[in-house]
Structure 1
């Protein structure tokens, strides 16, 4: 496994193929208060690329173009949050997207454990460490432990997606999942516009 740190943006000419696993690290869970610090990516090849953003400018044109590229599927776990953060700080609508958490909730109805650690353990037999989850991602220099943690959040998403795709097909819920994924950028926009909790579809 190779973990490569990039400061500010992705390097020119880097390709992730037809799909890229994506995750973000932030200063907290409130988009209006807590800034986006790091975006990690993997092509599913066992390697990870970590972008430490310049929080003064958020000038990352190559990363922004990748997130908006309609030909490249972006695979997330809990995409609702990451898509909102990317929209808030990079000004980009990320699409198309796939969310392993939504897929899990649609097919793993036998459990209420839909965290990435749970999926990795059950579906691909990987035991992930969450030790650096609560960490200062706004630090000027990221530690090796932080980089390793950030990488682990994207290294297995392609494989998890593959297993979940089989389960979605088996349960006849593939099209329902696709509709949910397509709605995610709108769901993120609603969160940012002030409707994170209220169900606007309710009576």
Structure 2
């Protein structure tokens, strides 16, 4: 078992992987008290074994690791890669590529939706994962042997799991199905939190233009402040307080201090000044210049039964082809197809259209029907 704590050892290890076809990668991090993930450990599995890299070791330079992650000749295999990729992008400015996500591949290969690492390696590698260290404090030093054993298991067993998934994809001709998902994971925009659109994360129950204008300004300020101070959004200002301030649009310190959970000390401080300034910017917008809100369209009467039929078809087609329905179409996709033949949604493009989209349109227009035969749903062509 190896724990790398020096730049020289890290450089030597990364150089030893030159010419390797692929490596398996995982990270341990904390995020409860910060906006950006705090990287605490990196695990790399290569053909000759696995190592753990300690990014918190005194004096260590992670440049060799970042160069390895950016090496276009070595495939980086992750499980549920999004948060790991976000960490490397934030620290190095580059996304690990090329990339293979075994969770997405497992969805393509019929292991269900968002399959866990434990489930996947149990089924594919016959391994039993001890998850007793799942909630450990990875920032605490020294790390114990038990912690390291747990951490390294996440890349050791990922290798045989990847090999079997790779063979399944080749056998079924579905390797190209992953390309679209991997393209999303390797786009920097996937990980960029735009302050100007951060208000959309909130559950807004009104479409009043002035309220939304204030909310946008407040949410954008909070996002920038959270990034600047490296704090969770809720540590800067809780969602409930944000929505209450947007609803009341306070103009003075006294008004702001009445916000539940905020307190006079905050209202009178720099944060209170910033909040009032954000509210003022929104209230200064003339009525005629408030951005128009798109009215929430109600689905046409009678559309829901069509959506439900499409849902049955989706489940049947995905079961037949051993692929997770979540990867093919969402509920909103089904609603869009039910309402519009030309809906520009994922199921109407590429392999998804071949698998489901064409049949969805045929079902919608009566060119095929669904029937139950021997307790199973079957497709029946309809003569025109």
Which residue is 2:75 aligned to?
A: 73
The alpha-carbon distance between structure 1 residues 159 and 74, as it changes in their structure 2 partners (threshold 3 A), is same
Superposition map of 1:7-86 within 5 A = 7=5, 9=7, 11-14=10-13, 15-16=16-17, 17-28=20-31, 32-45=35-48, 47-54=49-56, 59-86=61-88
Which structure features the higher share of strand residues? 1
Q: Which residue of 2 aligns with 1:95?
A: 97
**Higher mean displacement: 172-181 or 96-105:** 172-181
Q: Deviation of residue 112 (structure 1)?
A: 3.8
Q: Distance in 2 between matches of 1:162 and 1:4?
A: 24
Give 3-state SS (helix, strand or coil) of 1:182's partner.
helix
Closer, same or farther: CA 8–169 of 1 in aligned 2, 3 Å: same
- CA RMSD between the two structures: 2.9
| Structure 1 counterpart SS, 2:176 | helix
Contact kept? 1:21, 1:157, Cα under 8 Å? yes
Structure-2 separation of matches of 1:97 and 1:34: 20
Question: Once the 2 structures are TM-superposed, how far is the Cα of residue 179 of structure 1 from its aligned partner?
Answer: 3.4
1:24–1:37 CA contact under 8 A, matched in 2: yes
Alignment of 1:1-203 (within 5 A): 3-7=1-5, 9=7, 11-14=10-13, 15-16=16-17, 17-28=20-31, 32-45=35-48, 47-54=49-56, 59-109=61-111, 111-112=112-113, 114-186=115-187, 189-194=189-194
CA distance in 1, matches of 2:177, 2:40: 33
C-alpha spacing 1:167/1:29, structure 2 compared with 1 (3 Å): farther
- TM-score, normalised relative to structure 2: 0.46
For residues 189 and 147 of structure 1, the distance between their equivalents in structure 2, rounded to whole angstroms, comes to: 33
Pair 1:126–1:40, CA change in 2 (3 A): same
Task: Provide the rounded CA distance (Å) in 1 between the counterparts of 2:62 and 2:89.
Answer: 13
Q: CA deviation at 1:175?
A: 0.6
Structure 1 residues 112 and 123 mapped into 2: Cα distance closer, same or farther (>3 Å)?
A: same
Question: Normalising to structure 1: TM-score of the pair?
Answer: 0.84
Question: Shift of residue 28 of structure 1?
Answer: 3.2
Cα pair distance change 1:184/1:112, threshold 3 Å:
closer
For residues 30 and 165 of structure 1, do their structure 2 counterparts lie closer, same or farther at Cα, with a shift above 3 Å needed? farther
8 Å CA contact 1:36–1:55 kept in 2: the answer is no
Preserved CA contact (<8 Å) 1:44 1:155: no
TM-fit CA distance, 1:139:
1.1
Question: Any unmatched runs of 5+ in structure 2?
Answer: 202-331, 333-343, 346-384
Instruction: Report if aligned partners of 1:23, 1:82 keep a CA contact under 8 Å in 2.
Output: yes
Contact 1:8 1:53 in 2 (8 A): no
SS of alignment partner, residue 100 of structure 2: strand
Provide the C-alpha distance between the structure 1 equivalents of 2:193 and 2:163, rounded to a whole number of angstroms: 33
Name which structure has the greater RCO, CA cutoff 8 Å, separation 6+. Answer: 1
2: distance between equivalents of 1:66 and 1:193? 26
Change (3 A) 1:92 1:56: farther
Q: Give the gaps of 5 or more residues in structure 1.
A: none
Deviates more, 1:189-198 or 1:150-159: 189-198
